[in-house]
Amino acid sequence: DSFRAASCKMVAEAPEYALPQRQVVRRRRPRGQRAAAESPRKRPLDEAFPGEAEGRGGEEGAALKIDAPATAAGTGAEALPEYRSQAIKGQKFEYLDHTADVQCHAWGADLPEAFANVGLAMYNYMTPIKGITVDESLSRSFEAEGHDLQSLLFNFMDELLFVFHTEFFVARRLRVTKLDRESWTIEAKAEGGKFSRDLHECGTEVKAITYSAMQILESPTEAEVFVIVDI
């Protein structure tokens, strides 16, 4: 909307906050080729067989409501072995090559943790979150809603990006406290600080979240998400 567009313009015109922008020529493969190349290695969460996620699922095997997950994103948990070579040290996320944009891949013990970690991945791409000093006075809560799981993830990340564009807030720690698949709502708490080019290392500005090749996957012991962001 016009307010968000004006806010993003404000960031671009503020030299103490503005991030470098990547100049690229966008060349995308045909949709059919992209779909084949980006096919998931696991069955999507919404296609899980009944009873596969025992104790966390409904009659279709998909989680309905998860409150207060035990593990907070950003606490330095070890990455899964199969991704360790590319994972950011001390975090559960990585960046995968993608034509023109960047694909954030994050994982966790459950879906709330994976959602939180992909949010941290986005912030970390703009500035290393290890350099952000937590200011308790800036701690904040986030809420978002959608009409399905993908729109919920999209809107959640869009809210995280919005506070960076308008308040220059960067989360150092992020925890999803509620993920409700009946009302399609999500709530999260974040601790972090205010970004400044004079104080923090500059990465590349994330301009927008996209639905392109978005994947949300889950097994009985872990969850992972893939989100391409526009840079």
Confidence of residue 118 (pLDDT cuts 50, 70, 90): very high
CA 169 to each of CA 76, 162, 198: distance values in angstroms, whole numbers, following the listed order: 21, 9, 15
- Average pLDDT over every residue of 136-149: 96
Range of the structural domain that residue 156 is part of: 2-230
Residue 36 has pLDDT above 50, yes or no: no
- Average pLDDT over every residue of 152-172: 97
Confidence of residue 149 (pLDDT cuts 50, 70, 90): very high
Q: 2-6, 136-140, 194-198, 212-216: which has the minimum mean pLDDT?
A: 2-6
Share of the chain above pLDDT 90, in %: 55
pTM for the full predicted model: 0.68
More confident residue, 162 or 72: 162
Q: Return the ∠ at Cα 123 (arms to 193 and 65), rounded to 5°.
A: 100
Share of the chain above pLDDT 70, in %: 62
186 φ, ψ to 5°?
-140, 145
More confident residue, 52 or 38: 38
Q: In angstroms, rounded to a whole number, what is the distance separating the alpha carbons of residues 144 and 130?
A: 26
**What's the pLDDT at 163?**
96
31 φ, ψ to 5°?
-55, -40
> Which of 14, 44, 11, 78 lies closest to 218 in space, CA to CA?
44
CB atoms within 10 A of CB 32: 8
Q: CATH number for the domain including 195?
A: 3.55.10.10
Q: How many domains does the chain have?
A: 1
